[in-house]
Chain A
Amino acid sequence: MTVTMPLHPGPPDATPDVLNRMTTGNAEADYILGGGFPANSINIIMGHPGSGKTIFAEQLMFANAAGDRPILYFTTLSEPLAKVVRYVQDFAFYDETKLGTQVIFEDVGPQLARDGAPALIPLLETAIKTLSPSVIVIDSFKAVHDLAPSVAERRRMVYDMTALLSAYGTTAFLLGEYTEDDILVYPEFAVADGIVEMSRRRLGNRDERYFRVYKLRGSQYLEGAHAFRIAASGLDIYPRLVSPKIPTGYEPATERLSTGVKGLDDMLDGGVWRGTTTLLAGPSGAGKTTIGLQFALEGASKGESTLYMNFQENPTQLVRTIRGLGFDPDEVQARGLELVYASPVELQIDSIIVDMFRRIRERRVRRVVIDALGDLASAATDPQRLHDYLYALVQHFAASTITSILNLEVVSGATSGLSIQNAMSYLSDNVLLLSLDGDDRTRRRIRVLKTRGSAHDTRVREVEITGAGLRVMSQS
């Protein structure tokens, strides 16, 4: 099976092609799993009620429903079959022509309730002998497990089931409302070839959901928590951004680019090196957005594909600003400038990053402005996760020789942006600091704190913003 990853900057190491793999029906999940689940494996999909386990399994079922071997879904004692079938019809992957022939739903709850956990084994035997299913989903397996009155009986049931499912060529998925603690206790986790967790946590008025692979035998999967959301198409999964594998022959670019800001290129010893990242920090109103826009417009005016990601001003407002700088918005957008507005309140950092890289790849973007990092930070609930993302982001830009400006709002006396600034200062190639000075805080100044490979101007320089944009004054 060929796995393509359309929404992510780079794949993990390819899994050696020893095992046949089965698609999940979700390109991003396949990517995370190193190509999908190994065929003929036993896998546990764990998570709290409402975490998306059943939807994930159903998408996988319909994606694999082809050929003469059906997909079998056993519902046990958690969710009535009527509800399962009712809600699956709301999803785009649902195909009623496959229902009953290639996808078979069966309610085995009554037999299990009557005869106990061991009744699962003859039910599976009969299903294998009569239907020859290529995939068997048991939802919920934990409910079956809980029917067993003793540890010994649970272990015997799991052993018998494993022996049967191992003897026959079928891929099994055991769904259950397990917790992480159960992994060490429940025998099914010891025999499982794969363990995937789907979790959900509340964050203010929204929920964050994560997909995580705990174990997948014979596979090089992408570790960590990957954000996802439930959509009409099934699950939208955003694989965690990891640092790129920089090719052995990778060398920094040797071309300088103009920032588009008069006087700033001179401070930078002739502009910024292509493929470098510049952190532009300063308080609100100091000119960060203007510099970012000028940098983006400079790229577009030279025909470079340029992406301007911003989280504060919608495209209408930005178009007005661009016009104010003397550019024709339609023309610069036709020449390669893309303005993207994303609300950090509504999105997770994962989805924003995946969307950004999709645009970068599709349009072969050469310049990026992110305005501003603080907004991106507000879309990340975990500081470590944010730092990991920013690190990987800068590495990807460098590996792809994308030249970027990352704006960061810093409030005088506040510490909220400082941790990001500290982290980004050592990650970035160049660091520029804007300030508002004077009693009335109207004197705009700029200072180059750091460059790599440049003899930059170390002086504090005055800047002014006019109708033509921001420029660095010749005298400090």
Chain B
Amino acid sequence: MLIAERDARTRDLQRFFLERAGFVVEFADDGQAAFVRAVAMVPDLVITEILITPVDGLTLCRQLRAHPQTSAIPVVVFSLLSAAARATEAGAHVFLRKPMVESTFVGAVESLMAAQPTHGADPS
């Protein structure tokens, strides 16, 4: 899965908890890089912070929805901002507010992956 996140501590925790749950993760520094990478690799899931200028996470959401290669990829917005409604409006499947709590974060990712028709199996 692809994660657009700038904060080093959050990245470290995301990588640790998701890899422990059996997922393979890749990071991008901002929305622009994340979109380019998503089109190229078509990940199973995109997780994005909103605050990742110059292209923010909500714009990334909309770009992913609009592009034929990425329109079906589920997106989790995981942000410092209280922006659940805006995230939903932008096309996110799930909104989670920071800080991270492992059970909530990994649980949401696992639920979303399980709901995907081609990726619902055991992540390990």
Q: State the A residues within 8 Å of B (CB).
A: 40, 68-69, 125, 128-129, 132, 163-164, 166-170
Contact = CB atoms under 8 A, between A and B. Distances in A.
B103 interface: yes
A167 B103 contact: no
Contacts, number: 37
A169 B100 contact: yes
Interface of B: 7-10, 12-13, 16-17, 98-104
Contacts of B99: 40, 166-170
B100 A163 contact: no
Contacts of B9: 163-164, 166-168
Nearest to A121: B9
A21 to B, nearest CB: 16
A168 B100 contact: yes
Contacts of A163: 7-9
Contacts of B17: 129
A132 B103 contact: yes
Contacts of B100: 167-169
A167 B102 contact: no
B22 to A, nearest CB: 16
A169 B97 CA distance: 10
B76 to A, nearest CB: 16
B16 A169 contact: no
Nearest to B11: A167
B103 A168 contact: no
A128 B13 contact: yes
Given A40-B99, A167-B12, 7 more contacts: A69-B101, A164-B9, A166-B99, A167-B7, A167-B100, A169-B100, A169-B104
> What 9 pairs between A and B have smallest CB-CB spacing?
A167-B9, A169-B101, A169-B99, A167-B10, A163-B9, A132-B102, A164-B9, A40-B99, A168-B100
A278 to B, nearest CB: 53
A170 B13 CA distance: 13
B8 A68 contact: no
Contacts of A68: 103
B7 A129 contact: no
24 contacts: A40-B99, A69-B101, A69-B103, A128-B13, A129-B13, A129-B17, A132-B102, A132-B103, A163-B7, A163-B8, A163-B9, A164-B9, A167-B7, A167-B9, A167-B10, A167-B13, A167-B99, A168-B9, A168-B13, A168-B101, A169-B98, A169-B99, A169-B101, A170-B99
A168 to B, nearest CB: 5
Contacts of B16: 129
Contacts of B103: 68-69, 132
A211 to B, nearest CB: 28
B16 to A, nearest CB: 5
Contacts of A40: 99
Nearest to B82: A18
A62 B91 CA distance: 42
A40 B16 CA distance: 20
A164 B101 CA distance: 13
Nearest to A67: B103
A218 B102 CA distance: 25
Nearest to B7: A167
A29 to B, nearest CB: 24
Nearest to A18: B82
Nearest to B102: A132
Nearest to A164: B9
A427 B8 CA distance: 60
A125 B17 CA distance: 12
B14 to A, nearest CB: 9
A176 B12 CA distance: 29
A163 B16 CA distance: 16
Nearest to B101: A169
Nearest to B105: A169
A170 B100 CA distance: 9
Contacts of B104: 169
Contacts of A129: 13, 16-17
Nearest to A132: B102
A132 B103 CA distance: 9
Contacts of A125: 12
A163 B103 CA distance: 20
B110 to A, nearest CB: 16
A39 to B, nearest CB: 10
Nearest to A167: B9
Contacts of A128: 13
B23 to A, nearest CB: 16
A40 B80 CA distance: 12
B7 to A, nearest CB: 6
Nearest to B8: A163
Name the residue among B7, B12, B16 with the largest chain A CB count within 10 angstroms.
Answer: B12
A69 B100 CA distance: 13
